[in-house]
Every structure is written in structure tokens, then in C-alpha cells.
Amino acid sequence: MCAMHLVRFCRPYPGLINKEVKVINTWSSHTASTSTVVRNDRSLPSEIKPFSAVPGPKGLYNVPFIGAALHFKPFTKYTANEINDLLTDMRKKYGDIFKIKFGKDYMVYINHPDDAKTILQAHYEVHKRISFDLSETLAEREKVNKGLILLNGKEWADLRKPTQEKMLRPAVVASYVPLIEKVTNDFVDNLKKKKQVDDLLWELNNYTIESVGMLCFNKRLGCLDEGTNSPAEVAVALRNIFDMLQKSFFMPLKMYLYFKTPFYKRFEQEGRKFMEVVSTETAIQNEFLTKLKKEGKLEEYLENEPNFMYSLLADGRLSEDQISSVVSDLFGAGIDSTANTLVFLLAQLALNPDKQAKLYDEIQQVVGNSRHLTKEHLAKMSYLKACLKESHRKIFPISFGVLRILESDLVVGGYQMPKNTVLAINNRSMAMDDRFYYRPTEFLPERWLRETTGDIAKSKEFPFAHKPFGFGPRACIGQRFAENEIFIAATKIVKNFHVSMPSDVKEIKTTLKIFTTPSEKIKMNFLERQ
């Protein structure tokens, strides 16, 4: 065992500090106040226990491949799309840390923020992502370059570095505000005509395709044009792709790795539809840029509009093939993620009219009669930001939570986790845990405001309980773009409409398709404000 591991063993792990502590509320913008809180009520093993002692289902459940099948229908009431319910039951039975065998390896579920912190702050060099073997098999069979989502180690870092420089810089993000605003104005105009929608997710899918299309291809793809009532084919393909990925993850026998099974063939068909759109649009964008360059008009064009693909081409560190794979990943990851987030945010506001009224007041105060939204407006809207954070907490957006594969041994919650252990941070379960959140079942954006103190602000004690965009070098690369898009859409929609749902709807039922998504169509009324 190396010296670093010994140091880890000797260090008292965070959860051992299990007593009343004085906490300075440094988040108060006015005066720092002191309050006494019970930080958590964990009971941890008094000495470090081996991995074999991590609790979890016993017996047949631990037989490689077959064991996983026993957790799902027809043996239980759960399907792969409802794995969250299975995990909630296991959390109740086994506690803050438990392990389940999926395939041939264990996956360890983490339900305490102290442990989430230990894992997310551990040292990683390869930053290996858990295998989406269905997508990997498709990429290999179709001879398509893998992108940010599938690559690891140096190949991933070579793509990530230049892309991140272009995507996460505040100035770049800000330059997209006017472009997204135009897309949002068209969406709002459509809502004014419709007044009511029967399937909010599909409407928002068309909106997010248009927004992320502006980032990836600098082009409007026509999904919001008059007469386009059906969702774009690419959105349908993506929905099916994510559903199949979710299912493939928990399949006991993955025959598609060896043969083109009917399940694989359906995935291939949807994958090809998606890739067709991306390669067509990428080629058009390339042609457009080459033409402008030949005509000597490129500089002038770039002065007026940001162009993400051009900035990657001009950077010189990535080949055209690598750029295509980056654009493909951004387009694929950017549509359903943001559309679902917006559905749930609007639904929470509809179910909580008092919070909607408060948000409307903030919008009126900050934006008033300005014709355009600016990054300065967005920066001032703290209640809007709190609404998004709270909506993500109540309905956690990612099916698996944030996953990490250990690159060296690590003590987590009193257990010795060996190198290569797969750990899943179960933010969804922490979100409903009253050790970390005051009245966790309620939609209370106030809990996130800087000026909030006392019990309601308990969540601020546990930042690692809530990581909807992940953490560290492998965190969501689209976070800033997504937040901008969500803030602009929510601001414009709430400014223009009072949103409501049919009176018999009291809660939103969800299912998991990589992203959390409504299990039934969501109807929404958009009553124009006078």
C-alpha cells in the first residue's frame, strides 16, 4: 500500500464528526449570524470495514448477470425506468451506503453528502466514465468517432480542453443571450396563439432543438415555424435512444454486444436518424464558413455573431472529425436535458402560484419594460435561480445521479472501497431526506436565497447533497448554456403568461430515460397577462 493510501486511512473521515457543531452562516449578505444546528445523525462503523461489509442484497442477488434481473419485473414490481423506487426501498433497508450487483460488478449507492464530497473531491486522472456499452458498440460498428461522453483519459482531455474554453467562458455564454432570446420570442409567440398545450415536453423539445441548434450549427432548424405541430424527428429519435440506453444499462445478458439483436437494430435505426441530422447540418455549416472565407466576408460575419463551430475550427487543436463528434454530443445531450428541466420548472410554478407570483414580481422589477433581456438582467434574478435549483432538487434531472469510478483505494463512510469501484451519488434520495432539507417534499425556492437563515436554509450546509450538473473536470460542459436557455425561457414565459395546469393535477409523475421525464403528458394553460 502506498504512502498516500496510508494517509487516507489515518485521516478521520468526515462522517465521524457526528455531534452538535456551531456553524457560522456566512451566506447572509448583511450580517453573519451564528446558529447551532445538528449537522447530521449518522452512525458510522467505529473502525474502517472492508468492502465485503458494505450492506446490500444477499444470496442469489449477487450472482453475476442473473442477480441484477431479480430486482426487476417479473420478479418485483420495478422496471429499469423506475430504478429510483427500487433504490428508495433499498435506502430504507440498508442505510446511507449499499451495494447492488449489476452485470458482473457492484455499484455502490451513496446517500450522504459527506460521502458524496469525499468521492467527488478524490483524485482522478483518467476521469473514466461508466460504460454506455450500447452507444459504444454502435460507434464501433458504424465507425463513428467517439465524443466527450464516451471517451476517457487523454483522448477525452484532448477534446474537453478546447471545447470547455469555448463553452464555459462567461463572455462566450453571454454572446448567445441575444440569439436564444430570438428563439424564445418565437416560442412565446407560438404559445400566445395556442393558449393551451397538451404535451408540454414536445413543445419544449422543439424549443430546445432550436436553441441548441444555434449553438451547434448557428442555424435555425425550423422546429418553431408556423404549421410545424409535430415534434422534430430528431427529438423522437433521441427520446427512443435515451429510453433504450436506460434499459440496456440494467439488462442482465447483453447479447447486443455480440450480435445485432432486434433491440440493437432498433437502437441502430434511431442512432442513424440522429447522426444523419448532425452530419447534414455540420456539412452545411462547414460549407457556409468556407464560402464566407473565400468571399472575404468571414471576419465581418464573426464580428456580428458568435460561431461555436468556427471557433473550434480556428483553434486548430481539433480535427474536423473531432469537432463533428463534439457537436454531435452537445446536440444530443442538450435537447432532452433542458426540455425536461423546463417542463418540471414550469409545472412547479403552476402548482405553486404564490411562488410564480413572486417570480413574476422579480421579473417585473429587474426587466420591467426593457425590450431585450441582457446578461445583466439574468445576473440579478436570484429568485429565478433559486426556483431552478429547487425544481432540480424536487425532481432530480439525471437518472443515475453523478457516477464515479475510483482510480485508487478510498475510505468512504467507514468502508474501504477498492480501486475501480463504481460509485453512484444518489442525489435524488438525499433531496427527500429531512436531515439535509427542511420540509423536503415542499417546493421552497427560498431555501436557496442568500439572505435566508434558520432551519429553512439547512440545505446550504450540505452543498454536496445537490449536484444536478455534476462536479469537477467531468462536470456538465453545457451547464452555462443550459442555465442561460432555461433562465431566458422561464423569464419570458412567466413575464407573458400566468401558467396553470388542470385543477385535478396535484403532483407530477416521473419516469427515467437517462434524464428524468414526465410519465404522462403534461397539459398546460398559458393565460396571457394584460
- Summarize the annotated binding site for heme as residue ranges: 476
Residue 341 CB, shortest distance to ligand HEM, in Å, is 4
Residue 9 CB, shortest distance to ligand HEM, in Å, is 26
Residue 110 CB, shortest distance to ligand HEM, in Å, is 14
How do strand 105-110 and strand 422-425 relate by DSSP bridges?
A: parallel
List the binding residues.
476
Contact status, residue 518 vs residue 510, Cβ threshold 8 Å: yes
Q: Is the Cβ of residue 402 or residue 417 nearer to ligand HEM in the bound state? A: 402
Residue 158 CB, shortest distance to ligand HEM, in Å, is 12
Is residue 141 helix, strand or coil? helix
Residue 146 per-residue DSSP state: P
Residue 145 CB, shortest distance to ligand HEM, in Å, is 14
Q: What is d(CA 465, CA 120) in angstroms, rounded to the nearest whole number? A: 11
Segment interacting with ligand HEM (CB under 6 A) among 50-58, 107-115, 343-351, 467-475: 467-475
Residue 83 binds ligand HEM (CB under 6 A): no
One residue of 231, 414, 478, 518 binding ligand HEM per CB under 6 A: 478
Residue 221 binds ligand HEM (CB under 6 A): no
Residue 204 binds ligand HEM (CB under 6 A): no
Segment interacting with ligand HEM (CB under 6 A) among 50-58, 76-84, 276-284, 397-405: 397-405
Q: What is d(CA 352, CA 403) in angstroms, rounded to the nearest whole number? A: 32
Q: What is d(CA 334, CA 209) in angstroms, rounded to the nearest whole number? A: 8
Residue 431 binds ligand HEM (CB under 6 A): no
Find the binding residues for ligand HEM in span 140-169 (CB under 6 A): 148-149, 160
Instruction: Name the burial class of residue 419, with classes exposed (0-12), middle (13-18) and buried (19+) by CB atoms within 10 angstroms of its CB.
Output: exposed
Residue 445 per-residue DSSP state: G
Is residue 81 helix, strand or coil? helix
Q: Is the Cβ of residue 25 or residue 164 nearer to ligand HEM in the bound state? A: 164
One residue of 234, 330, 493, 501 binding ligand HEM per CB under 6 A: 330
**To which H or E segment does residue 281 belong?**
helix 262-294
Residue given cell 430504478 in the structure block: 83
Beta-bridge mates of residue 415: 49, 412
As a dihedral over the C-alpha atoms of residue 492, residue 494, residue 500, residue 506, rounded to 10 degrees, the angle is 110
Residue 367 CB, shortest distance to ligand HEM, in Å, is 22
**CA separation (Å) from 334 to 91, 106, 481?**
31, 30, 9
Q: 153's torsion region: left (phi>0), alpha (psi -120 to 50) or beta?
A: left
Q: Is the Cβ of residue 264 or residue 400 nearer to ligand HEM in the bound state? A: 400
Residue 28 CB, shortest distance to ligand HEM, in Å, is 28
Residue 119 binds ligand HEM (CB under 6 A): no
One residue of 111, 282, 307, 341 binding ligand HEM per CB under 6 A: 341
Q: Is the Cβ of residue 325 or residue 500 nearer to ligand HEM in the bound state? A: 325
Segment interacting with ligand HEM (CB under 6 A) among 179-187, 283-291, 476-484, 491-499: 476-484
DSSP secondary structure string, 218-249?
SS--STTSTT--SPPHHHHHHHHHHHHHHHHH
Residue 413 binds ligand HEM (CB under 6 A): no
Residue 306 binds ligand HEM (CB under 6 A): no
Contact status, residue 491 vs residue 501, Cβ threshold 8 Å: no
Note the residues at the interface with ligand HEM (CB under 6 A): 129, 148-149, 160, 212, 215, 329-330, 333-334, 337-338, 341, 397-398, 402, 468-471, 474-478, 481-482
